[in-house]
Chain A
Amino acid sequence: KNEVEQSPQNLTAQEGEFITINCSYSVGISALHWLQQHPGGGIVSLFMLSSGKKKHGRLIATINIQEKHSSLHITASHPRDSAVYICAVSPCMDSNYQLIWGAGTKLIIKP
């Protein structure tokens, strides 16, 4: 079983829809990261959070430490939001500076 599971694996939605991508993990963590990878490859960090909720524009990330679960929401989705969204966690006990990565969620927003 992977230590970081993302769902869904693929998501296709219409422009304007509210999008939710989920990330569940099985280890104790010090932080959770959400990243975005556009077609063509570049990876951009969206959020790093260890509790509560963060918001940037139309993107909202939440985390529930007790339930070991995080969600990434996109409001008023737009075709330019089409990308792969990646969740990664920093394990509490890891001294090797290694993040544990999810496999990503591929999001397609149709106009």
Chain B
Amino acid sequence: NAGVTQTPKFRVLKTGQSMTLLCAQDMNHEYMYWYRQDPGMGLRLIHYSVGEGTTAKGEVPDGYNVSRLKKQNFLLGLESAAPSQTSVYFCASSLEGGSGANVLTFGAGSRLTVL
């Protein structure tokens, strides 16, 4: 049982390049989330999804796009990377959401550096 798997774990990009982070979960969770973590700050929600085919903006969505074509996968795209997007990105999933009644399961993180 793999839980939540993120790929790639590390990536270095040049400004203006594009890339996609993949998050896959095998727990049949409905809700999936992308967070970024920067030094000295709490986790910040980028985008989230409450089910297959749905996406919604979080706290810091600018510069990112997401897709949830399959229930088990949640993709985070950077169309034109900027140095401000240098961060560690975490994917998480939960059985449900909203009321906070369910525990989050996190991936191991993806460290992205934009030069």
Contacts from A to B (Cβ < 8 Å) = 4, 29-31, 33, 35, 41-45, 48, 86, 88-90, 95-99, 101-104
Contacts and interface: CB of A to CB of B under 8 A. Distances in A.
B50 A97 contact: yes
A31 B99 contact: yes
Interface in B7-63: 31, 33, 40-45, 48, 50, 56, 58-59
A97 B48 contact: yes
Interface string B76-111: 000000000000101010000111111111101101
Contact of A98 (B45, B102, B108): B45
Contacts of B58: 96, 98
Size band of the B side of the interface?
A: 20 to 34
B108 A42 contact: yes
Contacts of B50: 97
Interface of B: 31, 33, 40-45, 48, 50, 56, 58-59, 88, 90, 92, 97-106, 108-109, 111
Contacts of B100: 29-31, 33, 48, 89-90, 99
A43 B106 contact: yes
A44 B90 CA distance: 12
A96 B48 CA distance: 9
B111 to A, nearest CB: 8
